[in-house]
């Protein structure tokens, strides 16, 4: 029998990142992964700035930055005419670009390396599949089977299901995803071809190369292009993914856009968009994260990015409860907040899907009208701007203690913008951050083992001051970078009450 404080089922990008975040906090975490190694082929491609921050808290971001391709622009074309050029806000003082492109297997590798740099190599049981799971009041018993048929039992105080869209944990607990899926299908093709194009998000609607279709292109590292194209109504998906049917379409498109270097196919798959979620991400001692909890359309890149947010939200709460520093009730807020975020992501994802892959004739007509108009009216082109993944505000969270609470904490440079390279988001991940704007009315706050106090003077860190002063003299930010309280006047009593009402039991007196 193996004993672990936390069992993570599934070592995909979400499971590995969550495990690395927990191990960094000294938690004994065990991952079981059915496969022998990292995923193969083309899956998530675009990783958002927010996800990079979360990987940073797990110490996995440098490798990501070294390998990935940053981007902030996108272009859409209707037939052979460019109808939209969008630029995501890219403040040069930000730590990361709004988005980077990278293959999912690299994300898994870097998160895994971060995990084993903190825990022992044996914290991942590769080639090992969860077979059954039973819960009790004090934990869960999992039966896992290795590829050679060897069975083992794992007793864990808590379990997190990160075992993807076909989750065995979900099935074992008799839970079902709720929602709908779209019929429209996209062929996903990865090819290897050298290019000199900048990294941008590229979309063609009804292009001369493939009339009636929609084509998306994303450049990835290692000279790989990810190409997604929409199948027409009535096309047989099994036939459509045969190389003899895929290659001519890709060639026609590459020729149209003037990419003439030799190329080879490295992966072909098929995808249809789903809008599905569990109604709750907690069942007793089991939590759900990533695709095991929700399946979000890939248009708008909220699939993997929302899974990172699940990991960032759950890691600090679970660690505090496991370490006896917070009450169980803190954990319920994980489900409340992340189910709300999924509903928002599904709302945006559904809008993007209805444009990218119109579910019926009415939507096709609307899309055609918007595209036609966008060739003559620039204002209309905003209608075809894809909504890229952004952190969701936690409206209605039980952890929102004052009015400005629930919003992601704005990034800012700590120090003088001209010389400093340290960002506020680098302080998040492990502790609460109390920003105390020293030029405003403020008490001296006592040291607390779970709170990092940053006293900011306007003359030293103007950007922090500009972005936070309207919120009050004192802003309390959660370890996952969300504002949970702010006060016009900083008082010790406010901080103590805020921590207590979130369920934090560790007090200033517990400082060692």
Q: Which residues bind ligand FAD (CB under 6 A)?
A: 9-15, 32-35, 39, 42-46, 104, 129-130, 162-164, 168, 188, 269, 271, 290-291, 298, 301, 303-305, 307
What does the H/E/C string look like for 267-302?
A: EEEEEEEEEEECCCCEECCEEECHHHCEECCCCCCC
Least distance to ligand FAD, CB of residue 335, Å: 16
CB nearer to ligand FAD: pick between 355 and 432: 355
CB closer to ligand FAD out of 267 and 501? 267
Cβ at position 181, least distance to ligand FAD in Å = 13
Give the residue with the Cβ less far from ligand FAD, 215 or 413: 215
Q: Which is nearer to ligand FAD, 273 or 477 (CB)?
A: 273
In degrees, rounded to 5, the angle at the alpha carbon of residue 70 between the alpha carbons of residues 69 and 71 is: 120
Whichever of 188 and 224 has its CB closer to ligand FAD, that residue is 188
Q: How far is the CB of 305 from ligand FAD (least distance, A)?
A: 6
CB of 293 to ligand FAD, least distance (A): 8
Q: Which of 167, 114, 428 is nearest to 290 (CA)?
A: 167
Shortest spacing between CB 169 and ligand FAD, in angstroms: 7
Q: CB-based contacts of 263: which residues, under 8 Å, 6+ apart?
A: 191, 192, 193, 225, 250, 254
Query: Is residue 102 left, alpha or beta, with left meaning phi > 0 and alpha meaning psi from -120 to 50?
Result: beta
Contact in structure between 326 and 339 (CB atoms under 8 Å): no
Greatest alpha-carbon span in the chain: 72
Q: Closest separation between CB of residue 444 and ligand FAD, Å?
A: 44
DSSP-derived secondary structure for 171-182: HHTT---EEEEE
Cα 239 to Cα 245: distance, rounded to the nearest angstrom: 7
Q: Which of 504, 410, 494, 405 shows the shortest CA–CA distance to 450? A: 504
Containing H/E element for 19? Answer: helix 13-24
Closest separation in Å from C-beta 321 to ligand FAD: 22
Comparing CB distances to ligand FAD, the nearer of 44 and 473 is 44
| Torsion angle in degrees (nearest 10) through CA of 190, 110, 315, 484 | -80
Two tokens, residue 273:
């968009």
**Least CB distance from residue 45 to ligand FAD, whole Å?**
5
Compare residues 170 and 471 and give the one whose CB is closer to ligand FAD: 170
Q: Which is nearer to ligand FAD, 46 or 319 (CB)?
A: 46
Q: Based on CB atoms, which residue is closest to ligand FAD, 301 or 320? A: 301
Q: How far is the CB of 21 from ligand FAD (least distance, A)?
A: 14
Task: Evaluate whether 132 touches 151 at the Cβ level (below 8 Å).
Answer: no
Cβ count within 10 A of residue 77: 19
The C-alpha torsion from 168 through 172 and 178 to 182, rounded to 10°, is: 30
C-beta of 38: minimal distance to ligand FAD in Å? Answer: 8
**Nearer of residues 288 and 487 to ligand FAD, judged by Cβ:** 288
CB of 48 to ligand FAD, least distance (A): 9
Q: How far is the CB of 129 from ligand FAD (least distance, A)?
A: 4
Q: Which is nearer to ligand FAD, 231 or 413 (CB)?
A: 231
| Alpha-carbon gap, residue 463 to 469, rounded angstroms | 10
Question: Which residue has 């993570």 as its token pair?
Answer: 8
Cβ(468)–Cβ(458) below 8 Å:
no
Q: Which is nearer to ligand FAD, 133 or 502 (CB)?
A: 133
Q: Cα–Cα distance between 276 and 291 in angstroms, integer? A: 9
CB of 222 to ligand FAD, least distance (A): 17
Tell me the three state secondary structure of residue 3. strand
Decide if 206 contacts 78 (C-beta within 8 A).
yes
* Residue 165, phi then psi, degrees to nearest 5: -60, -30
| CA distance linking residue 310 with residue 348, whole number of Å | 18
**Which residue, 210 or 306, has its beta carbon nearer to ligand FAD?**
306
**Closest by Cα among 64, 138, 53 to 94:** 53
Kindly give the pairing relationship between strand 294-295 and strand 432-437. unpaired
């Amino acid at each position: 029998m193996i004993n672990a404080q936390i069992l993570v089922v599934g070592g995909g990008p979400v499971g590995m990142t969550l495990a690395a975040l927990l191990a960094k906090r000294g938690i004994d975490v065990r991952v079981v992964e059915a496969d022998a190694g990292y995923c193969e082929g083309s899956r998530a491609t675009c990783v958002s700035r927010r996800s990079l921050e979360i990987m940073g808290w797990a110490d996995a971001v440098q490798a990501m930055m070294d390998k990935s391709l940053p981007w902030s622009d996108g272009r859409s074309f209707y037939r052979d005419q460019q109808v939209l050029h969008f630029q995501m806000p890219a403040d040069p003082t930000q730590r990361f670009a709004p988005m980077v492109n990278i293959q999912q297997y690299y994300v898994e590798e870097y998160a895994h390396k971060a995990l084993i740099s903190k825990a022992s190599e044996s914290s991942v049981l590769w080639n090992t599949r969860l077979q059954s799971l039973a819960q009790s009041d004090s934990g869960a018993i999992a039966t896992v089977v290795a590829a050679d048929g060897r069975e083992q039992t794992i007793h864990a105080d808590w379990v997190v299901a990160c075992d993807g869209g076909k989750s065995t944990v979900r099935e074992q607990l008799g839970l079902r995803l709720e929602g709908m899926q779209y019929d429209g299908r996209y062929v996903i093709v990865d090819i290897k071809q050298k290019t000199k194009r900048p990294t941008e998000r590229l979309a063609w609607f009804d292009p001369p190369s493939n009339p009636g279709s929609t084509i998306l292109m994303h450049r990835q590292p290692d000279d790989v292009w990810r190409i997604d194209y929409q199948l027409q109504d009535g096309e047989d998906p099994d036939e459509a993914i045969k190389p003899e049917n895929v290659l001519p379409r890709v060639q026609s498109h590459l020729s149209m856009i003037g990419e003439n270097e030799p190329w080879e196919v490295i992966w072909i798959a098929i995808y249809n968009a789903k809008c599905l979620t569990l109604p709750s991400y907690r069942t007793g001692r089991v939590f759900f994260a990533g695709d095991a909890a929700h399946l979000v359309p890939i248009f708008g890149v909220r699939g993997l990015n929302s899974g990172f947010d699940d990991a960032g939200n759950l890691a600090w709460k679970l660690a505090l409860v496991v370490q006896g520093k917070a009450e169980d009730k803190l954990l319920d807020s994980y489900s409340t907040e992340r189910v709300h975020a999924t509903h928002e992501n599904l709302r945006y994802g559904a809008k993007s899907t209805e444009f990218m892959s119109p579910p019926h004739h009415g939507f096709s007509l609307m899309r055609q009208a918007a595209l036609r108009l966008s060739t003559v009216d620039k204002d209309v082109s905003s209608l075809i701007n894809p909504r890229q993944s952004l952190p969701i505000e936690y409206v209605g969270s039980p952890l929102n203690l004052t009015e400005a609470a629930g919003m992601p904490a704005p990034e800012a440079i700590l120090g003088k913008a001209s010389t400093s390279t340290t960002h506020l988001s680098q302080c998040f991940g492990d502790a609460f951050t109390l920003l105390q704007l020293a030029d405003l009315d403020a008490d001296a706050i006592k040291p607390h083992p779970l709170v990092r106090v940053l006293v900011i003077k306007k003359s030293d860190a103007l950007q922090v001051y500009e972005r936070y002063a309207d919120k009050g003299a004192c802003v309390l930010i959660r370890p996952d970078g969300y504002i949970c309280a702010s006060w016009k006047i900083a008082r010790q009593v406010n901080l103590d009450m805020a921590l207590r009402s979130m369920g934090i039991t560790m007090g200033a007196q517990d400082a060692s």
